[in-house]
Amino acid sequence: QVQVAESGGGLVQPGGSLRLSCVASGNIFAIRSMAWYRQAPGEDDDLERELVAVISDEGSAKYAESVKGRCTISRDSAKNTVYLQMNNLKPEDTALYYCNVDQYSSALLQSLRLSVEVWGRGTLVTVSS
């Protein structure tokens, strides 16, 4: 079993900053990538989740156009932890932020490239004055 837990959400004024953290634990052999998604309040369909940022096992990062220049994703591989530093927050950044971990549970599964994505429960970010 693999568990993913996010933290760091909260209420912040427009223009403020927040740092989200996500820790993956359990039966993890290797992590392929870690990512942050978000879903606006009132959207119940999982398909409505927007990819905010993703970082690969090699450290390369990609960002949604809407957050480029304002957010930085980073990773501590030794701790199976990913961070999302968000600056100059806007009201439209208000959402439930989910961590996604694409991981292998064994060397065999890694050799077969059979990774499994695990989601956290989310942490709420509210940007409001």
Taking only the tens place, the pLDDT of each residue in 2-28 is 999 999 999 999 999 999 999 999 999
CA distance linking residue 86 with residue 17, whole number of Å: 5
Query: Amino acid identity of 59?
Result: G
Mean pLDDT of 30-56: 88
Question: How sure is the predictor about 43, in pLDDT bands with cuts at 50, 70 and 90?
Answer: confident
Mean pLDDT across the chain, nearest whole number?
95
Quote the Cα angle for 124-69-54, to 5°: 60
Query: Amino acid identity of 16?
Result: G
- Token pair of 20 as six digits: 């989200």
Q: Percentage of the chain with pLDDT > 90?
A: 92
Tell me the per-residue pLDDT of 49-61, one tens digit each, with 9 for 90 and over: 999 999 999 999 9
Mean pLDDT of 57-70: 96
Quote the Cα angle for 69-15-76, to 5°: 50
- Token pair of 91 as six digits: 């009201």
Neighbours of 101 (CB within 10 A): 25
Quote the Cα angle for 95-9-119, to 5°: 70
Tell me the per-residue pLDDT of 107-126, one tens digit each, with 9 for 90 and over: 999 999 999 999 999 999 99
21-25, 37-41, 60-64: least confidently modelled range = 37-41
